Structure 1
């Protein structure tokens, strides 16, 4: 019995430091994720005050922009596992870190050029997708000022990746928090025309977001330039130095991440398209429910980032037990939070919806009632959404990105979207069918990714970076 108690004590001694390290790294990352989504959430809240039509048009523009932003962010996010592994090995860390960050910034510029060109033609794209031409025309008022936020935002993501891999993410939280306050004020001034500013409506929301993203990049750049711990890396010096070897490594790892992010995002965008076909009321209600679900998702997303960093550091040091502890600790924290989020969505949907829409107004009551239904189905997939987000981060820490990409394709597009479309248009369940399809796809991906992780940690030969999955 004493040996058993001693074994349990040793197990706790191994896991508790990991839990503390994950929480210490995780809470600034989570709050930073919440801060980032708060930028777009603030815009949506303000736009909702302009009416249901403006909210629907803003939702279309935001969804299309978000799709390109997510792909681009996935691409530059490859800097996180690369940096974590480098710092775990501690060999030529300064030079290797500098190479990775610089090529992350190169990647941001390279991907923005085609993205800007496509987003400029958002109206034609939305009409071709079957959206209401009036709403499509109105959506570009937002898009043509929002799209320029992409480059500074990606630059911010690259610099944030460095600070996260250094396990010093508090600076990103400080900068993002300042940007939220600025965006709230700028949006209030430019959307509604307070204090003598012109009332620009949707266009004002985009201008506020672009200025806020620029502020975030400049803020982190100043931190890295002036802080004595970070300036020795000289991350922003000689930025135009070509390094095609490291650039190709980043793209080789980042493209599957980008495709995976995009496949998941396009599922939700496909839901927006289907809601637009169903009607403006369904589209507006979906925008509210999806925004609430997106906010809760930021927590497991943060723990997924923690998992990438902690697993990557352990992999760089060649510590299989450390890899296992880092992964499962983040997994338990992320999924546990989503269980709480699901409960809140079940018991207090009207309170959550009230932040986005005044349900007491007769014109908004139909939208609010439908949003309550959608939020109930959002609660169904919270656990699965959290599991797949964290588990994907765990696998990225092992540089395992190709197989998860295939899982995403199968779960989201071979099964999830077709099931949602069938239930919505063939069975006749409308928006409810769309949400059931989302829940199905997320659950399938969560199960597959968790199985993949179990396979990886069973075979110790696959722990080391560079082993073939």
Structure 2
């Protein structure tokens, strides 16, 4: 990354950082998308099973990956302040931490997956697919978290194009493995939705090994010698990673886990409604990759400028990022309005399921517009290492406001399952306003600090 002096230079650097992140995030999201989509073409029960399994896995994965994102502002500010020699130690500690988290989640998951699925009172086939899908994908947890750390390190250097290439290589491999294992092609076992879990786990191992080779051998990552000298675990550094990462991870977890809570609450509806809800949510999650990618780009750029004490430049990047997200959200809203039926048809050939998906997508429009404000603002705040308030705001927005409003609307009005989406829209709207207010405050605080020196 380089210092920029004009708005056009900032736009150029913003796009250079953003576009590869966006492609990477869409590709990573596409792994879950193709798991769900291809399982849906196997049977509605496999669609529902994989969708429910994914709805339980994704909040855990994104929340814990969010904790590991704490390394991004740390490395960005180290580079911005010229302390490149400290980078290797921080990355190694993050890798140790990633493996520890992965082992912990595997142990916990082995005890709770069965009881959670039993609680949902699903059809036997749906429950079986969800259970074995989660068992299969668990074999990829350790490499996925290890890749997350290495990816954040590479992105922190502004080399987002490299992680894009790694992910793009993995996507066709995942699709091919899905094809072979879901449908039993070319002599492979016909596993249905469970095969999607096996395929994803294999894909996670592939991208982890590729990223190790890249970090060890390719310029400019090789200059940091990440794997040339090993350090013992440092509790002090883990504490710093936790201090920054836990609020990030929990903020993401609160947002993603609320959808799992909604899925649990919706288990009383029929399989077609559950499948349609999860399909619409899967597509909305794919659209979410746009503001999420902008958020990640802002963390890198704002962190770099804050580390160099160029606060006005950091503020300008925030404006560019938030404005871009809102504009793109309005464009995707138009796409959903015009092509809603075609989008629904991607997920199923069942006319009833298609109709239900199309209805859910109407609510997704309003949800993703609010996301376009809230998510990039969080990315800017992370660049300032201001993470705890966002964690509190996100919890209130989704769990104190969104879920209760959704439950009341779904239970005591004729809207039924759509009431949950209304509650989430209300919660996210509150969160977007509160997070924006916090960003304005933290920018003023940093300016006052600088001028007082």
Question: In the alignment, what sits opposite 2:226?
Answer: 235
Selected match of 1:353 from 344, 359, 363: 344
Match of 1:36 in 2: 28
Partner of residue 441, structure 1 = 427
1:298 maps to which of 285, 289, 300 = 289
Q: Is the 8 A contact 1:61 1:122 kept in 2?
A: no
Distance 1:240 1:278, change over 3 A: farther
CA drift of 1:377 comes to 0.7
1:98 aligned residue: 88
Q: Which residue of 1 aligns with 2:151?
A: 160
Match of 1:453 in 2: 439
> Is the partner of 2:244 in helix, strand or coil?
helix
Judge which range, 276-285 or 312-321, deviates more: 276-285
For residue 317 of structure 2, what is the aligned residue in structure 1? Answer: 326
Please give the secondary structure, in 2, of the residue aligned with 1:382.
Answer: helix
- What stretches of structure 2 of length at least 5 have no aligned partner? none
Taking the aligned partners of 2:320 and 2:406, their CA distance within structure 1 comes to 33
- Are positions 1:265 and 2:292 aligned together? no
Note the C-alpha offset of 1:131.
4.6
Alignment TM-score, normalising by the size of structure 1: 0.92
Residues 462 and 391 (structure 1 numbering): CA distance in 2 closer, same or farther, change over 3 Å?
farther
Does the Cα contact within 8 Å between 2:96 and 2:233 map onto a contact in 1? no
Confirm or deny: 8 A CA contact 2:337 2:362 kept in the other structure.
yes
Separation of aligned partners in 2, 1:206 and 1:460: 46
RMSD: 1.6
Going from structure 1 to structure 2, the CA distance change for 1:195 and 1:240 (only over 3 Å counts) comes to farther
Alpha carbons 1:123, 1:136 under 8 Å: kept: no
In the alignment, the residues of structure 1 paired with residue 412 and residue 97 of structure 2 have an alpha-carbon distance, to the nearest angstrom, of 43
Shift of 1:126: 2.1
Match for 1:119 among 109, 132, 136?
A: 109
TM-score by length of 2: 0.95
Retained in 1: the 8 A contact 2:311–2:447?
Answer: no
1:186-335 matches, within 5 Å, as 186-239=177-230, 241-335=232-326
Residue 430 of structure 1 pairs with residue 416 of structure 2: yes
Tell me, in whole angstroms, the C-alpha distance in 2 between the residues paired with 1:348 and 1:172.
Answer: 31
Shift of 1:144: 0.8
Name 2:47's counterpart in structure 1. Answer: 55
Alpha-carbon distance, 1:278 to partner: 2.2
What SS does the corresponding residue of 1:298 show, helix, strand or coil? Answer: helix
The 2-side partners of 1:348 and 1:409 are apart by 33
Give the drift of 1:394.
Answer: 0.5
Aligned-partner Cα distance in 1 for 2:287–2:300: 21
How many equivalent residue pairs? 446
1:348 partner SS = helix
Q: After superposition, what is the alpha-carbon deviation per residue over 1:220-278, rounded to whole angstroms, capped at 9, x for unaligned? A: 11111111422121212444622222111001111111111110011111221222222
In 2, the alpha carbon distance for the partners of 1:290 and 1:196 equals 33
* Comparing 63-72 and 24-33, the one that deviates more: 63-72
Q: Map 1:357-376; keep pairs closer than 5 Å.
A: 357-358=348-349, 364-376=350-362
Q: Flag as ranges the 4+ runs of structure 1 deviating above 6 A.
A: none
Once residues 65 and 261 of structure 1 are traced to their aligned partners in structure 2, the CA distance between those partners, rounded to angstroms, is: 13
Contact preservation (8 Å) 1:276, 1:282: no
Task: Work out the CA distance in 2 between the residues paired with 1:463 and 1:446.
Answer: 26
Give 2:389's aligned residue.
Answer: 403
Are positions 1:83 and 2:69 aligned together?
A: no
Structure 1 stretches lacking a partner, 5+ long = 1-11, 359-363, 465-469
Q: Give, in whole Å, the separation in 1 of the partners of 2:278 and 2:409.
A: 20
Contact 1:275–1:286 under 8 Å retained in 2:
no
Shift of 1:298: 0.5
Structure 2: how far apart are the matches of 1:242 and 1:153? Answer: 20
With over 3 angstroms needed to count, the CA separation of the structure-2 counterparts of 1:377 and 1:228, relative to structure 1, is: closer
Distance (Å, rounded) in 2 between the aligned partners of 1:100 and 1:13: 30
